[in-house]
Amino acid sequence: MNQTRVNLTEHDIPTHWYNVVADMPNAPTPSLGPDGKPVGPEQMLAIFPGPVLEQEMSTERWIPIPDEVRQIYAQWRPSPLIRAVRLEQMLGTPAKIFFKYEGVSPAGSHKPNSAVPQAYLNKIAGTKRLVTETG
């Protein structure tokens, strides 16, 4: 029988995020303000704290995941990978296709994966109140 599930240990939780911008052939287009003109980092500081903006604007290929964030991730991660055998069969592909099952997180979705680091970066920036998206 083929392996249909991959379960990693908490020691396998990544230590860095991969930043696709480093490998893009062209830089992403800049964010635009209400006037339709590119917004600079100083204007972005009005809505994003420095640490969030620093990460968002980075062109580094690998961005270190803070230990505090990794400790929180360890409560539910790494998420299991499940092989999509029937999809492979329907597509007639020799490729092995896996998807991450995020239902093991406290929220039952992928949302804490980005919410936790955003909250952490806001905390170190001194933010006192934080509102999250609802999806």
| Residue 44 C-beta-side C-alpha neighbours within 13 Å | 18
Give tens-digit pLDDT for 61-99. 999 999 999 999 999 888 899 999 999 999 999 999 999
Beta bridge partners of 17: 63
Query: Is residue 16 a contact partner of residue 62, using CB atoms and an 8 Å limit?
Result: yes
The model's pLDDT over 15-24, given as tens digits with 9 standing for 90+, comes to 999 999 999 9
List of E strands, 53-101: 62-64, 81-83, 98-100
State the pLDDT at residue 21: 95
